[in-house]
Amino acid sequence: MKYEIQKDKILIFDKSEFCPKHILECGQIFSYKKTDEAYIVYSSDKKAIVVEKSNCCEILTDDVPYFVNFFDLDTDYSQIKCDLLKKYPFMKKSIDFGYGIRILKQDFFETIISFIISSNNNIKRIQKILFNIRERFGKNMGDYYSFPTPQMLKIATEQDFKEMGAGYRAKYLVKATEQLLNVDFLEVAKLDTMQLNKFLLSIMGVGQKVADCIMLFAFAKQNVFPVDTWIEKVYCTYFEQEHNRDIIHKKLIDTFGDMSGYAQQYLFYSQREIKE
DNA sequence: TTTCAGGTTGAAC
DNA sequence: GTTCAACCTGAA
pLDDT in tens, A163-200: 999 999 999 999 999 999 999 999 999 999 999 999 99
Query: Which nucleotide has the least CA–C1' distance to A170?
Result: C8
Ranges of chain A with pLDDT below 50: none
Q: Look at residue A182 in the predicted model and tell me its pLDDT.
A: 95
Q: How far is CA A136 from CA A32, A129, A155, A180, A199, in A?
A: 17, 10, 11, 19, 28
Q: Which nucleotide is nearest to A228 (CA to C1')?
A: B6
Burial of A16 (0-12, 13-18, 19+ CB in 10 A): exposed
- pLDDT score for A242: 78
Collect all residues with Cβ–Cβ distance below 8 Å to A269 and sequence separation of at least 6.
A22, A25, A26, A27, A94, A97, A98, A101
Nucleotides of B under 7 A from a protein CB: 5-10
- A120 sits within 7 Å of strand C by its CB: yes
Alpha carbons A47 and A145: distance in angstroms, whole number: 10
User: pLDDT at position A243, please?
Assistant: 76
For residues A102 and A262, what is the distance between their CA atoms, to the nearest angstrom?
Answer: 8
Which pLDDT value is given to residue A275? 75
What count of Cα atoms within 13 Å lies in the side-chain half-sphere of residue A215? 30
Model pTM score: 0.98
In 3D space, the residue among A24, A15, A23, A93 whose CA is nearest the CA of residue A274 turns out to be A93
The residues pairing with A140 across neighbouring beta strands, listed in sequence order, are A145
Chain A residues 56-75 with Cβ under 7 Å of strand C are none
For residue A52, the one-letter residue type is E
Is the shortest CB-to-strand distance from A90 to strand C under 7 Å?
Answer: no
- What's the pLDDT score for residue A276? 66
A205: alpha, beta or left? (left if phi > 0; alpha if psi -120 to 50): left
Kindly report the number of other CB atoms within 10 A of residue A21's CB atom. 15
* Residue A43: C-alpha distances to residues A54, A130, A191 (Å): 26, 11, 23
The number of residues making up chain A comes to 276
* Near-strand B residues (CB closer than 7 A): A 26-28, 118-123, 172, 203-211, 213, 226, 228-230, 272
Name the residue with the least CA to C1' distance from nucleotide C9. Answer: A167
Looking at residue A10, what is its pLDDT?
A: 98
